[in-house]
């Protein structure tokens, strides 16, 4: 019987991500964005008992651009999702993919020891998980 090699989230996640303050305007947040390939911004906790938030570029398109709102007048906290469903870096990507499907996710922060260490998406799981 052959053993299945387990691919972990840490093996496929993007470790480069943008952490921002929720009080930033959308315009300022986009100006500071360095990792466009993650297609999201992680919103930092305000204090230890707070939770992380997340804004997808598609959220900005739907809630700012499509509604003809000014990115200079919309704060990130107005459009972010919080709390967000996160995954552990040691999770098997098969279970991560199932969780994404079950909850309708496209990407999620990877959290270890209560700190964000990366971002994972379906694209990362499929392409890197199958060796592409």
Domain ranges of the chain: 9-129
19-20/40-43 β-pairing: parallel
List % helix, strand, coil for the chain (3-state, nearest 5). 35, 25, 40
Distance (Å, rounded) from C-alpha 32 to C-alpha 71? 14
CB contact at 8 A, 25 and 50: no
Topology annotation, domain 9-129: CBS-domain (3.10.580)
Interval 65-122: pLDDT, tens: 999 999 999 999 999 999 999 999 999 999 999 999 999 999 999 999 999 999 999 9
3-state secondary structure of 36: helix
Give the DSSP H or E segment for 79.
Answer: helix 76-79
Q: In this predicted model, what pLDDT tens digit does every residue of 29-58 receive, in sequence order? A: 999 999 988 899 999 999 999 999 999 999
* Residue 60 main-chain phi, psi, to 5 deg: -65, -40
45 HSE (CA, 13 A, CB side): 12
Closest CA to 58 of 10, 24, 126, 107: 107
Q: What is the pTM of this model?
A: 0.90
């Amino acid at each position: 019987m052959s053993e299945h090699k387990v691919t972990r989230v840490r093996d496929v996640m993007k470790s480069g991500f943008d952490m921002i303050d929720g009080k930033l305007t959308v315009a300022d947040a986009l100006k500071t964005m360095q990792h466009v390939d993650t297609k999201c911004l992680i919103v930092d906790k305000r204090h230890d008992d707070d939770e992380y938030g997340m804004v997808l570029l598609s959220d900005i398109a739907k809630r700012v651009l499509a509604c003809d709102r000014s990115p200079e007048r919309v704060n990130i906290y107005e459009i972010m999702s919080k709390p967000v469903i996160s995954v552990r870096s040691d999770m098997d990507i098969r279970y991560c993919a199932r969780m994404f499907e079950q909850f309708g996710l496209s990407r999620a922060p990877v959290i270890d020891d209560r700190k964000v260490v990366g971002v994972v998406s379906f694209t990362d799981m499929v392409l890197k998980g199958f060796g592409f």
